Amino acid sequence: YSAVYSVESHALNIEVLFFSSIHSGSRSSKTFKPKKNIPEGSHQYELLKHAEATLGSGNLRMAVMLPEGEDLNEWVAVNTVDFFNQINMLYGTITDFCTEESCPVMSAGPKYEYHWADGTNIKKPIKCSAPKYIDYLMTWVQDQLDDETLFPSKIGVPFPKNFMSVAKTILKRLFRVYAHIYHQHFDPVIQLQEEAHLNTSFKHFIFFVQEFNLIDRRELAPLQELIEKLTSKDR
């Protein structure tokens, strides 16, 4: 991770630029899956704009906090959609380097290997290449985000009782894409000058899941050292 920490001084400025580039669609040609849009004019769209604005406040820990008077489920939903879009874009930039040949298993370093199961189409975990695993994963996340019974976009439609459990599973699995990129593809990330985007996106992600205790610490183990480095200055 030698180059991972070199961008801290201007991370927040880049975070805001990063947000803007995603929401304007200027980087959409590099996304791995189609971008998930939050309907303009909806309350969730207003929440997304609030999140975007507070990222420029100079304090990422403050930026992830639940806005006063807002519903926790809705805040988690909006941010989960946004992290899907961010990771979608980041992985899209390195797909040429993540192939069946280069990544025959989905791993995050030598100690961590992930097998895919979604509980419905694939019930028993299967060993597969990283690009296949990430394709399964991102398609599965898309399906959850598009399900109006899980992620209602209309005002007044309640979130299901199991919403937080579903969101936690989505975020846990999205973390694995970050972990794979950092462990297996950080050199091309540097070559593409994407490390600042990756670091600030991941730092935002970690602050968010820490704020609401959304991912078990054991799941974060593949990047624990990096997490300590990225967050030590903001305690």
Query: For position 27, what pLDDT does the model report?
Result: 39
- Hey, which residues does 114 pair with through a beta bridge? 106
CA dihedral sign, ordered 51, 219, 166, 143: positive
What is the predicted pLDDT for the residue at 42?
Answer: 83
Give the global pTM.
0.85
User: What mean pLDDT value characterizes the chain?
Assistant: 85
Give the C-alpha separation, 218 to 188, whole Å: 28
Q: For residue range 206-217, list pLDDT tens digits in order.
A: 999 999 999 999
Confidence of residue 80 (pLDDT cuts 50, 70, 90): very high
pLDDT digits (tens, 9 = 90+) for 18-66: 444 444 443 334 677 878 888 887 888 888 888 888 776 667 888 899 9
Quote the CA–CA distance of 200 and 228 in Å, as a whole number: 14
pLDDT of residue 234: 61
128 labeled binding residue: no
| pLDDT band at residue 6 under the 50/70/90 scheme | very low
Residues 6+ apart with CB under 8 A from 198: 90, 178, 181, 182, 189
Planar angle of CA 127, 32, 61, nearest 5 degrees: 95
Q: What are phi and psi of 232, to 5 degrees?
A: -65, -30
Q: Which CATH class is domain 28-232?
A: mainly alpha
Rounded mean pLDDT, 133-139: 96
Q: How confident is the model at residue 219 (pLDDT cuts 50, 70, 90)?
A: very high
74 pLDDT higher than 60: yes
Please state the rounded mean pLDDT for residues 173-201: 95
Does the pLDDT at position 10 exceed 50? no
Residue 167 or residue 2, greater confidence: 167
**147 or 17, higher pLDDT:** 147
**For the chain, what are the domain ranges?**
28-232
Give pLDDT tens digits for 89-131.
Answer: 999 999 999 999 999 999 999 999 999 998 888 889 999 999 9
Q: Which burial class, exposed, middle or buried, applies to 177 when counting CB atoms under 10 A from its CB (0-12, 13-18, 19+)?
A: buried
Q: Is 180 annotated as a binding residue?
A: yes
**AA identity, residue 67:** P
Share of the chain above pLDDT 70, in %: 85
pLDDT for position 15:
42
